[in-house]
A and B are shown apart, each in its own frame.
Chain A
Amino acid sequence: MFTSIFFYFLASIAIASAIFVVLNRNAVYSAIALVLCFFSLAVIYLLLEAYVIAVLEVFIYAGAIMVLFLFVIMLLNLGLEDAFPYFRHLQRALSLFMVGLFFVGIFLIMFNEQGILHQPGEKFSAGDIYALGEALFSKYLLPFEVASLLLLVALIGTVYLAKRKI
Chain B
Amino acid sequence: MDLLGFIIILVKVLVVFAATMITVMGMIYAERRVSAFMQGRLGPNRVGPKGLLQPIADGIKFFMKEDLIPSGADKPIFILAPAILLIPALMTFAVIPFGSSITIFGREIALQVADVNVGILYILALTSIGVYGIVLAGWSSNSKYSLLGGLRSSAQLISYELAMGLAVVSIILLAGSLRLNDIIADQQGYFLSWNVFKQPLAFIIFLVAVYAETNRLPFDLTEAEQELVGGYHTEYSSLKFAMFFLAEYANMITAAALTVTLFFGGWDVPLLDESSLGLLGAILSVLSFILKMAFFLFLFIWVRWTFPRFRYDQLMRLGWKVLLPLALVNIFLTGGYLTLTAMK
Contact = CB atoms under 8 A, between A and B. Distances in A.
Query: A and B: direct contact (Cβ < 8 Å)?
Result: yes
Contacts of B139: 28, 70, 74
A67 B158 contact: yes
A33 B210 CA distance: 29
Contact of B151 (A52, A55, A64, A71): A71
Contacts of A74: 135, 139, 147, 150-151
A128 B253 CA distance: 29
B129 interface: yes
Nearest to B165: A59
A51 B114 CA distance: 13
B132 A67 contact: yes
Given A32-B136, A71-B154, A63 B122 contact: no
Given A28-B139, A129-B178, A67 B128 contact: yes
A32 B76 CA distance: 12
Contacts of A52: 118, 121
Contact of B118 (A28, A51, A75): A51
A56 interface: yes
B131 to A, nearest CB: 5
A58 interface: yes
Nearest to A42: B125
B151 A75 contact: yes
Contact of A56 (B121, B127, B129, B136): B121
B258 to A, nearest CB: 16
Nearest to B158: A67
B15 interface: no
Contact of A55 (B121, B136, B158): B121
A68 B135 CA distance: 10
Interface residues of B, number: 26
Given A52-B118, A55-B121, A74-B135, A63 B128 contact: yes
B132 A58 contact: no
A59 B132 contact: no
Interface in A49-90: 51-52, 55-56, 58-59, 62-64, 67-68, 70-71, 74-75
Given A28-B77, A74-B135, 8 more contacts: A55-B118, A59-B125, A59-B128, A63-B125, A64-B128, A64-B161, A67-B154, A71-B154
B158 A59 contact: no
Nearest to A52: B118
B235 to A, nearest CB: 16
Contacts of B158: 64, 67-68
What does DSSP make chain B's interface, helix, strand, loop or mixed? helix
B102 interface: no
B125 A55 contact: yes
Contact of A58 (B74, B129, B136, B178): B129
A53 to B, nearest CB: 10
Interface of B: 74, 77, 116-118, 121-122, 124-129, 131-132, 135-136, 139, 147, 150-151, 154-155, 158, 161, 178
B135 A70 contact: yes
Which 3 A/B pairs are nearest by Cβ-Cβ distance? Answer: A63-B128, A59-B125, A58-B125
A56 B165 CA distance: 13
B118 A67 contact: no
Contacts of A32: 77, 132, 136
A56 B178 CA distance: 13
Contacts of A70: 132, 135-136, 139, 154
Contacts of B132: 32, 35, 67, 70
Interface centre among B118, B147, B150, B161 (most CB of A within 10 A): B118
A56 B147 CA distance: 29
5 contacts: A55-B122, A59-B124, A67-B128, A67-B132, A67-B154
Contacts of B150: 74
B136 A63 contact: no
Interface string A91-134: 00000000000000000000000000000000000011100000
A47 B5 CA distance: 20
Contacts of A67: 128, 131-132, 135, 154, 158
Nearest to B172: A129
A29 B136 CA distance: 10
A35 B81 CA distance: 14
B180 to A, nearest CB: 13
A162 to B, nearest CB: 16
A62 B154 contact: no
Contacts of B126: 58
A28 B124 CA distance: 24
Nearest to B131: A67
